[in-house]
């Protein structure tokens, strides 16, 4: 038995759309697959969680134990990826103490805030990093391992830390390899 779903099994998952050469681990969890669009040449490894409105471009790798929570939408464009144990949140509870938190509490007693998250082309997120809602990570950004992204990031930079800060420019030489 192959550890990835076959094309026929992918059809049975009920994805909104998927392209060619899509490899999704049988150990990944997809919630609301009818809201998930996947391009060509995409691999999603073991123990990943994809939930909500998610659009993955082409040539994307989502490494093991990563989670994408797309209540307000998450888009990852071509040639981008998540290293192991990354988490993207497009929504989060208000932890101010004015509201209760968790999905098992009546909605009238909670406050969920958020917005779309966009990872543009050629973005790589380092292992263990967390990305908050309502932001854009522009083309060519690399985020170092175990970083926290709370705000949008400008293109072709290398960012690290909690919260992230830009430490240097990233080379665009990879564009010559297309």
What does residue 112 show for φ and ψ, rounded to 5 degrees?
A: -105, 130
Q: Rounded CA gap, 146 and 83, in Å?
A: 10
CB atoms within 10 A of CB 52: 17
Q: Rounded CA gap, 51 and 55, in Å?
A: 11
pLDDT digits (tens, 9 = 90+) for 68-110: 999 999 999 999 999 999 999 999 999 999 999 999 999 999 9
Q: pTM of this prediction?
A: 0.97
**Segment 50-57 long-range contacts (CB within 8 Å, at least 24 positions apart):** 52/90, 53/90, 57/121
Helix (H, G, I), strand (E, B) or coil at 47: coil
Query: Nearest 5 degrees, angle CA 73-CA 149-CA 31?
Result: 30
Q: Rounded CA gap, 149 and 135, in Å?
A: 9
Token couple for 10: 């992918």
pLDDT digits (tens, 9 = 90+) for 115-172: 999 999 999 999 999 999 999 999 999 999 999 999 999 999 999 999 999 999 999 9
Asked if 34 and 52 touch (Cβ cutoff 8 Å), the reply is no
Asked if 110 and 91 touch (Cβ cutoff 8 Å), the reply is no
Q: Rounded CA gap, 59 and 91, in Å?
A: 26
pLDDT at 2: 87
């Amino acid at each position: 038995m192959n550890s990835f779903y076959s094309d026929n099994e992918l059809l049975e998952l009920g994805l909104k759309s998927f392209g060619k050469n899509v490899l999704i681990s049988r150990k990944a969890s997809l919630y609301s697959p009818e809201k998930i669009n996947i391009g060509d040449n995409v691999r999603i490894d073991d123990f990943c969680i994809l939930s909500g409105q998610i659009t993955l471009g082409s040539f994307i790798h989502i490494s093991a134990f990563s989670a994408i929570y797309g209540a307000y939408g998450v888009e990852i464009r071509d040639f981008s990826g998540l290293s192991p144990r990354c988490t993207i949140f497009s929504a989060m509870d208000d932890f101010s103490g004015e509201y209760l938190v968790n999905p098992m509490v009546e909605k009238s007693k909670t406050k969920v805030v958020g917005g779309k998250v966009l990872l543009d082309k050629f973005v790589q997120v380092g292992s263990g990093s967390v990305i908050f809602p309502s932001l854009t990570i522009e083309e060519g950004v690399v985020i170092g391992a175990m970083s926290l992204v709370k705000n949008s990031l400008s293109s072709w930079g290398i960012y690290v830390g909690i919260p992230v800060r830009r430490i240097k420019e990233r080379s665009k030489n990879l564009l010559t390899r297309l």
